[in-house]
Amino acid sequence: AQSVTQLDSQVPVFEEAPVELRCNYSSSVSVYLFWYVQYPNQGLQLLLKYLSGSTLVKGINGFEAEFNKSQTSFHLRKPSVHISDTAEYFCAVRTNAGGTSYGKLTFGQGTILTVHP
């Protein structure tokens, strides 16, 4: 079975400051990793994904994440945040094994990022 832990439930930052949202996962097989963003009263939007290759992946809105296999982490970063980045962020993992778990995502508990002026 796989699980995802987002280490911070809330992260307050000031505008133009850097931010890191932490995500750790556990899985007995290789995985694909995702970050989604959810704005108030909306569904989830994909920010970025790691499938294979370079461990540093870049996504939309200036976000990037680094896959660290030895630490089983996939932390999300942005060097300078904007007020509009205020939202809830979810880390998710998908096993690339077959069987009944094929294609299913396991989500973390979410991190609420609040950007203050």
Partner 1 sequence: EADIYQTPRYLVIGTGKKITLECSQTMGHDKMYWYQQDPGMELHLIHYSYGVNSTEKGDLSSESTVSRIRTEHFPLTLESARPSHTSQYLCASSGTGQFSYEQYFGPGTRLTVT
Residues contributing to the site for partner 1 (CB under 8 A): 4, 9, 32, 34, 36, 41-46, 49, 51, 90, 94, 100, 103-110
State in angstroms the smallest separation of the CB of 82 from partner 1.
23
State in angstroms the smallest separation of the CB of 64 from partner 1.
18
**3-class SS string, 1-35:** CCEEEECCCEEEEECCCCEEECEEEECCCCEEEEE
DSSP E strands in the chain: the ranges are 3-6, 10-14, 19-21, 23-26, 31-38, 44-50, 56-58, 64-68, 73-78, 87-95, 105-107, 111-116
State in angstroms the smallest separation of the CB of 24 from partner 1.
14
Our CB check for partner 1 shows the closer of 13 and 107 to be: 107
Instruction: Report strand pairing: 87-95 vs 105-107.
Output: antiparallel
Our CB check for partner 1 shows the closer of 41 and 54 to be: 41
Which tokens go with 5? 């832990």
Our CB check for partner 1 shows the closer of 8 and 15 to be: 8
Our CB check for partner 1 shows the closer of 36 and 74 to be: 36
State in angstroms the smallest separation of the CB of 20 from partner 1.
20
